[in-house]
Structure 1
Amino acid sequence: MYKQQFVIIGLGVFGETIATELTRMGHDVLGIDTDEVKVDRLAERITHAVIGDVTDESVLDELNVGDYDVGVVAIGRNIEAAILATMQLRDRGVKKVWAKALTNQHHRILKRLGATRVIGPEFEMGAHVAQELHYPMVNNYIGLGEEEFIVELIVSDNLDGCQMDALIEKADAEVELVLLKQGKTTSTNPSSDVTLHKGNQVVLVGQLDELRKFADHL
């Protein structure tokens, strides 16, 4: 998985979670919010956290947001600010813009403005819960767009002592191992022939169908 640059606008619970998870996965993350307290809270936890009002176009220009791969508009209750932020990200050439919608009308407006994906938090949480119920070993996941996902799995009893490459071969799935956490030791891009042990955290990336094939053989 290649390293990407993300700009997260709005650092409430929703935006903070996205920003910290993407940072943990090794990406460069710029977080922007008007609230100094929220920015200070994340200053040491993500790549960059800045105080800024994105309704002022000069702020995004000064931060060179047009150079980022993905923009996420996670603004809470200010629908107007969310709409302006989405417009400005698209105007500056950000290729993928994900935006959080608060109402059905807001959803339609964001789509018309060119948002790549409009997120309804309640729907997303429902989908997340459904995934966890269907695949109990799935600890967390995030969609990258175009049916590609990053999935975190917890190694169960029946996988203790298995080699990752053997599991992938058995499932005949095209998935990539990008991170392995064993106790307090975290390895990025580990060898695929690594031996797994109960409780290890495994992070994979791949197309949804391929990840399902892999999960179905665990």
Structure 2
Amino acid sequence: MAQKFAILGLGIFGTQLARTLVENGCEVIAVDGEMDNIEGIADDVHLAVQGDFTRLDVLVEAGVAECDIAIVTAGEKLETSVLSIMNLQELGVKKIIAKTRSLAYKEVLERVGATRVIIPELDVARIYGNQMTNPNLHNILRLDEEYNFIEFQPIQKWVGRTIDQLDFRQRYGVNIIAFKASEDARLSIHVNPNHRLEAGNILFGLTDNDRFEQEILHN
């Protein structure tokens, strides 16, 4: 059964997030106060509702209580985010993600009940900063306060050695979960530990520390 999401707020971030979730097979309810935003997304999501999502009755009528996850994208307005989170809690939504631009707001939103608060500008700045300083590190996505998802190419000293020989888990605290032979190749989740790494290979992994990131950046 597909996961069901509620997207509250249809700016650039919320609109693209809604479309991406639908593309990935999820069911999406989108709520926004502006009719232009609703009309722009209506054909792409399962349900688009025009209304003030700080009002409990609007969320009830939209069926938000049936959602597995709700994302509040009104990052600029603290009061809007707080009221929305409180209403989502009252509806019994188990996972509430809130977007904000401020570290100070992040603490407030966590205190009122957000299970996770994201600051996209910080994540994007970190990704591009790392890419600019080392082309081997393609992407770092912070999944939560503890775990990172990383996409990378082998540094020179790893080329010609097998994944098993490099022992990424013990040496760097990273679990390799997927592999691509090249940028244009198909992604495979069946990682051959005896594969000898080549310069154009791309690896994907999960890590719970910064050791691996520092190894990439310092080589």
| TM-score of the pair, normalised by structure 1 | 0.65
Partner of 2:99: 100
Report 1:48-67 matches (<5 A).
Answer: 50-52=47-49, 53=51, 54-55=53-54, 56-59=58-61, 61-62=63-64, 64-65=66-67, 67=68
| SS of corresponding position for 1:190 | coil
RMSD of aligned alpha carbons: 4.2
**Contact 2:142–2:149 at 8 Å: present in 1 too?**
yes
Match of 1:32 in 2: 30
- Which residues of structure 2 form unaligned runs of 5+? none
Inter-CA distance 19–161: structure 2 relative to 1 (3 Å threshold)? farther
- Residues 44-83 of structure 1: pairs in structure 2 closer than 5 A: 50-52=47-49, 53=51, 54-55=53-54, 56-59=58-61, 61-62=63-64, 64-65=66-67, 67-68=68-69, 71-75=70-74, 77=76, 79-83=78-82
Q: Secondary structure of the equivalent of 2:178?
A: strand
Q: Distance in 1 between matches of 2:162 and 2:6?
A: 37
Unaligned ranges ≥5, structure 1? none
The structure that has the greater radius of gyration is 2
- Residue 124 of structure 1: CA displacement? 3.7
Say which is worse superposed, 139-148 or 71-80, in terms of deviation. 71-80
Q: Percent identity?
A: 24
After TM superposition, list the pairs within 5 Å mapping 1:127-166 onto structure 2: 127-132=126-131, 136-155=135-154, 159-166=158-165
Give the number of aligned pairs.
207
- Seen in structure 2, the aligned counterparts of structure 1 residues 90 and 136 have a Cα distance that, compared at 3 Å, is farther
Q: Note if contact 1:153-1:202 (Cα within 8 Å) is conserved in structure 2.
A: yes
Q: Return closer, same or farther for 1:183/1:92 CA change in 2, 3 Å cut-off.
A: same
In the TM superposition, what whole-angstrom CA distance separates every residue of 1:102-130 from its partner, at most 9, and x where no partner exists?
45774454233122343344444444444
Question: Using the alignment, how far apart are the partners of 1:112 and 1:88 within structure 2?
Answer: 14
Q: CA offsets per residue over residues 152-186 of structure 1, 9 Å max, x none?
A: 21345654444333333486234222332334333
- Counting only pairs closer than 5 Å after superposition, residues 179-198 of structure 1 correspond to structure 2 as 179-181=178-180, 182-193=182-193, 194-198=195-199
The separation in 1 between residues aligned to 2:111 and 2:212, in whole angstroms, is 32
TM-score, normalised with respect to structure 2: 0.65
Do the aligned residues in 1 keep the contact of 2:59 with 2:65 (CA within 8 Å)?
no
Contact 1:179 1:186 in 2 (8 A): no
Maintained 8 Å contact 1:168/1:174: no
